[in-house]
C-alpha cells in the first residue's frame, strides 16, 4: 500500500485574488483542523499582478507546514496552474478549488468520503443553484448538454472548479492548453470510470471579477473537438483521414467517369452533347478527387508523426504481478 504524506491536498489556481485567499485559507483551516486531518494547500499564483503572492507568503507564516506555493512568472492560464498543482500534490485525496471563495470548503469532508469510502475515482461538484449572471448560466447549460452527449459522462457541471480526485488520477492525466474544462473526460480516457458528482454550495463572487469572458464558450467547444478527435484517432490518424479521403476520391471519380461515359454514349448515338468541361458537376467531381487525395496524404503524414512520437507506447498500467 502506498503511504501518503498528507490526507488531503487542496490545489488552488490563483490569478489576482489577493482579497480572497486569506479568507479561503482560514475557512479551509476551520473545516479541516477539527477533523484532525493532515492537509496541504497549494496556491499556484498564475502570474498575478496584485498582491496575491505576498498573501501566500503571509499565509505560509500563519500556517506553516500547510501552505505551499508555486509562482508563475507570467499568466499561463488555469490549466497550467492545475497541472503544476497536480504535479506537486502529495495527498491521498486531491481537491481543486477556485480561489475566489465561490466554492465552499465545507464540502471537502464529504467529497473525501466519496473518494475513499464510496470508491469514486473522481467527484465533480455540481453548482445546482448558481450565483452567476444569466449570460454565464445559459451558455453553460448548452455547454454541459453537449459535453454529456459527446463524452458519455453523465455530469451536470463539467466546469465546476470544486472537484475531488484519487491521488492516482491526478498523476495520470495531463491538463494542458485550456483543458481544465474537460478533466472528467481526460480522467475517463485514462481509464478512470467511476466519475461521480455531488451537489455543492455555490456563492457569488465576493471580491474582484471573473477572469473568463464570453470567448470561453468558443474555446470550450473547440477543445471538445480536439479531445474527441485525439481520443479516437491519435494512435491511428489514417483511420480518419484515410477513410474520408478514399470516400471522397471514389465519389468524385465515379461522377467524373459517369459524365465522360454519358457524353461518349450520346456522341455515338448522334445525340446533342454537352462538353464535360461545361458541366458544373465535373468541377465538383474534380475538387473531390483532389481533396480526397490530400486527405489521404494527411493521414499518411499523421501516421509518420505518430510513429515518431515518444508517447506512442505509453499505457497507464494499473497492476503488475510477478513481473520483473
* Binding interface with ligand UDP (CB under 6 A): 13-15, 17, 46, 75, 77-78, 81, 98-100, 102, 161, 210-212
Q: Are 79 and 101 spatial neighbours (Cβ–Cβ below 8 Å)? A: no
15 binds, among ligand UDP, Mg ion, none (CB under 5 to 8 A by kind): ligand UDP
Shortest Å distance, C-beta 15 to ligand UDP: 4
Residue with smaller CB distance to ligand UDP, 171 or 205: 205
The Cα–Cα gap between 125 and 200 comes to 6
Closest by Cα among 203, 11, 199, 170 to 107: 199
Shortest Å distance, C-beta 21 to Mg ion: 13
Closest by Cα among 122, 127, 205 to 161: 127
Q: Kindly list the residues in this chain that would bind Mg ion in the complex (CB under 5 A).
A: 98, 100, 102
Shortest Å distance, C-beta 319 to ligand UDP: 35
In order of 3, 138, 249, the CA distances from 105 in angstroms are 25, 26, 58
Shortest Å distance, C-beta 47 to ligand UDP: 8
Residue 79 has which C-alpha cell? Answer: 490549466
DSSP string, 196-241: EEEE--B----SS--S--THHHHHHHHHHHHHHHHHHHTT-HHHHH
Residue with smaller CB distance to ligand UDP, 142 or 258: 142
92 binds, among ligand UDP, Mg ion, none (CB under 5 to 8 A by kind): none
Across the strands, what pairs with 42?
Answer: 11, 68
The Cα–Cα gap between 130 and 140 comes to 11
144 binds, among Mg ion, ligand UDP, none (CB under 5 to 8 A by kind): none
Residue with smaller CB distance to ligand UDP, 81 or 170: 81
Shortest Å distance, C-beta 99 to Mg ion: 8
223 binds, among Mg ion, ligand UDP, none (CB under 5 to 8 A by kind): none
Residue with smaller CB distance to ligand UDP, 99 or 187: 99
Residue 68 has which C-alpha cell? Answer: 505551499
Shortest Å distance, C-beta 162 to ligand UDP: 10
Residue with smaller CB distance to Mg ion, 45 or 98: 98
78 binds, among ligand UDP, Mg ion, none (CB under 5 to 8 A by kind): ligand UDP
Closest by Cα among 247, 239, 232 to 293: 247
Amino acid at each position: 500500500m502506498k503511504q501518503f504524506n498528507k490526507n488531503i491536498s487542496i490545489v488552488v489556481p490563483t490569478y489576482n485574488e489577493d482579497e480572497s485567499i486569506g479568507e479561503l485559507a482560514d475557512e479551509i483551516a476551520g473545516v479541516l483542523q477539527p477533523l484532525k486531518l493532515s492537509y496541504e494547500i497549494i496556491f499556484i499564483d498564475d502570474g498575478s499582478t496584485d498582491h496575491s503572492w505576498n498573501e501566500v507568503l503571509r499565509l505560509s507564516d500563519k500556517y506553516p507546514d500547510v501552505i505551499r506555493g508555486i509562482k508563475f512568472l507570467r499568466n499561463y492560464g488555469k490549466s497550467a496552474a492545475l497541472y503544476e498543482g497536480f504535479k506537486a500534490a502529495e495527498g491521498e485525496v486531491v481537491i481543486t478549488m477556485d480561489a475566489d471563495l465561490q466554492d465552499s470548503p465545507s464540502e471537502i469532508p464529504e467529497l473525501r468520503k466519496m473518494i475513499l469510502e464510496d470508491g469514486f475515482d473522481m467527484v465533480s461538484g455540481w453548482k445546482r443553484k448558481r450565483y452567476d449572471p444569466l449570460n454565464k448560466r445559459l451558455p453553460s447549460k448548452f455547454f454541459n448538454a453537449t459535453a454529456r452527449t459527446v463524452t458519455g459522462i453523465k455530469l451536470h457541471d463539467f466546469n465546476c472548479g470544486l472537484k475531488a480526485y484519487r491521488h492516482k488520477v491526478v498523476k495520470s492525466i495531463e491538463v494542458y492548453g485550456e483543458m481544465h474544462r474537460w478533466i472528467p473526460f481526460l480522467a475517463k480516457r485514462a481509464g478512470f470510470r467511476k466519475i461521480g458528482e455531488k451537489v455543492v454550495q455555490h456563492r457569488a463572487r465576493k471580491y474582484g471579477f471573473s477572469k473568463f469572458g464570453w470567448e470561453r464558450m468558443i474555446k470550450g467547444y473547440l477543445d471538445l473537438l480536439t479531445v474527441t478527435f485525439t481520443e479516437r484517432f491519435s494512435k491511428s490518424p489514417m483511420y480518419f483521414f484515410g477513410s474520408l479521403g478514399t470516400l471522397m476520391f471514389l465519389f468524385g471519380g465515379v461522377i467524373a467517369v459517369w459524365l465522360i461515359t454519358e457524353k461518349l454514349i450520346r456522341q455515338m448515338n448522334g445525340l446533342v452533347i454537352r462538353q464535360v468541361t461545361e458541366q458544373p458537376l465535373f468541377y465538383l467531381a474534380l475538387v473531390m478527387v483532389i481533396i480526397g487525395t490530400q486527405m489521404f496524404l494527411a493521414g499518411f503524414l499523421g501516421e509518420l508523426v505518430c510513429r515518431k512520437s515518444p508517447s506512442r507506447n505509453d499505457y497507464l498500467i494499473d497492476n503488475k504481478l510477478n513481473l520483473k
